[in-house]
Structure 1
Amino acid sequence: MMENSNQKWIEQPLSKIVTGLAVLFALVAAISLPSFVENFFLADAVMIGGKRYDINDVKKTSPVAFSKFQTEYQSLVKNTLSEFAQDKLFELVAKEKNIKPSEVLSQGFVATEPSNEEIQAVYTQYKPQFGGKSLAEVRDQIIKVLKNQQEQQHNQGVYKEIVTKYPVEFKLREIEQVRVSVETKGNPSTGKEGAKITIIEFSDFECPFCKRSQDVNRRLREKYKDDIQWVFRDFPLPFHENAMYAHMAANCSIPQNKYWDVFQVLFENSGNLSPGNVDYLVTKAGLNAEKYQACMKDKKKLQAEIDSDIEDGQKVGVNGTPAFFINGIFVSGALPFENFDEIIQKELNK
């Protein structure tokens, strides 16, 4: 199985990568990538008490760590090949036009002077960032930024023309999916129970990346509806001083059947979750204040439930948020919609 993902590469700028030479050597030497990867990484090992351990042992004992390794390695391979492909494209076009590769993107670009309206619009939009300086004081700086934007737009247009003429297609070995058994343990869920897809999310109401991921999560639930059961498990990080209280408050909304209302309002206010504001937000979301305060008094019980979620997450390798398990397949971080969608599609088509 091979991955074909050239469109996303076309739309995103490519950065210089100086690592991954071993992979390129393998390609030049006509060694198959899968066999090279296996031989290359199984040659790496650690000796503990005279016994040898390699990446297969990591796979057996820590499948989440193995999944992270695979994802990061594949990203390195793709970045390395992307840089190689970009240089080759510029060489092709430069030869065709009899110019230097470094001139390919800039050829034909002539910056135009921004209008007074454009300059004023930028100044108005970013006035707080200018530290009280007048328009006259930052005018040259704004003009420079606007001209730079013109150049970037020109470069992107040229680049799209190049990859249209010389198509780029990545052939990457599909990552081996390692499944981890993660229990739901009666935690709050939305969607159809027993759906073909179960997504378990370990998250933190005070985590900015978790907040960012909610837009993608919402889109997935809207698209797949009853095909997904979405389960939320608490994972407040220790360095987020207000997270534990927010998670306790959310759990106190369960008896009042308001969990997902509170869930939404807490993430909307993720950067402002002082205990006092949390109390205000949950009552604003519809909780009976008296019942809520009574529930919050049993801190020992509430924290024990949250600690149980944290412990279960740590057992399967969760050490940061957000972390997801799609039918047991680990996905780490606030990734784009397409990353989740691809896995879900494959699971549904089985």
Structure 2
Amino acid sequence: MTTNLKITLIIAAGMAAVIAAIVLFGRPEGSATEPVTGTASGQPVPAEYLVRADSHKLSTAADNKVTLVEFLDFECESCGAAFPHMERIRAEYDGKINFVVRYFPLPGHRNGELAARVAEAAGKQDRFEAMYAKLFQTQSQWGEASESKEEFFLDLAKQTGLDMAAFQKDLKAPETAERVKKDQDDGFALSIQGTPTVFFNGALLDGEPSYENLKAKIDAALAP
């Protein structure tokens, strides 16, 4: 079985699970209820739903010819499988593309929302990128757990060299949870049903977020 096929199967399974969860439990209370038109057809969606002023930008490009926006769940196995592809793309196109990540913790994951708050709290100390990587690199150690993995995440924060008093305060702060929810609400408004969901230059990515697919689209967009 090829790597691309494995990712495709994992993504399909993840999407099926979250669709079932939404059907059973509905969207979280207070979430956006009116979907943005055009998302399913791959047409450009309103830019304000994709990139906010406080969105986390891991790569930037002066010419803005290519913008990738990924809605992700740190506990999602499909996101973990896509992570190496995204990192390879970021390294190869450093300074040539914008890469933005948005939170979209899935309802069936015990620690997905907590992991998003961990990343956001690390970002308060300008260590979002480091924590983003650590959460995916260690996903097999904490993902799919039925109990809270807060102690594990606190250890990750120590390894990242964070001020632990400030980190724990930010982790528990209501505004941190609200920041995660704001991303999630944009995802619901865009009718996102699973992760990773990637938008390429304002439209839903056609195909899987594999290195080969992303590279082909980026090269075409950057071509003179």
- CA positional deviation for 1:188: 1.3
Structure 2 segments unaligned to the other structure (5+ residues): 6-35, 144-148
Partner of 1:327: 201
Conserved 8 A contact 1:205-1:211: yes
Other structure's SS at 1:216 match = helix
Other structure's SS at 1:252 match = helix
Conserved 8 A contact 2:61-2:96: no
User: Which of 293, 296, 301 is the matching residue for 2:171?
Assistant: 296
Partner of 1:191: 59
Partner of 1:181: 46
Task: Tell me the distance in 1 between the aligned counterparts of 2:138 and 2:191.
Answer: 28
1:224 maps onto 2:93 in alignment: yes
- Give the counterpart letter for 2:195 in structure 1: T
Q: Are residues 231 and 348 of structure 1, via their aligned partners in 2, closer, same or farther at CA, if it must alter by over 3 Å?
A: same
- CA positional deviation for 1:333: 7.5
User: Comparing both chains, which one has the higher relative contact order based on Cα–Cα distances under 8 Å and sequence gaps of 6 or more?
Assistant: 2
Conserved 8 A contact 1:213-1:334: no
- TM-score, normalization by structure 2: 0.74
Describe how 1:23-38 pairs up with structure 2 within 5 A: none
Partner of 2:111: 242
Task: Tell me the distance in 2 between the aligned counterparts of 1:261 and 1:304.
Answer: 22
- TM-score, normalization by structure 1: 0.49
Q: Which has the larger radius of gyration?
A: 1
Partner of 2:40: 65
Task: Tell me the distance in 1 between the aligned counterparts of 2:95 and 2:87.
Answer: 13
Task: Tell me the distance in 2 between the aligned counterparts of 1:332 and 1:255.
Answer: 34
- Give the counterpart letter for 2:209 in structure 1: L
Other structure's SS at 1:66 match = coil
Say how many residue pairs are matched: 181
Report percent identity of matched pairs.
27
Partner of 1:285: 160
The ranges of structure 1 where at least 4 consecutive aligned residues each deviate by more than 3 angstroms after the TM superposition are 332-335
Partner of 1:203: 72
User: Which of 253, 275, 285 is the matching residue for 2:150?
Assistant: 275
- Give the counterpart letter for 2:98 in structure 1: Q
- CA positional deviation for 1:200: 0.9
Conserved 8 A contact 1:205-1:236: yes
Task: Tell me the distance in 2 between the aligned counterparts of 1:333 and 1:242.
Answer: 28
- Give the counterpart letter for 1:182 in structure 2: A
Conserved 8 A contact 1:189-1:229: yes
- CA positional deviation for 1:239: 0.6
Partner of 2:27: none
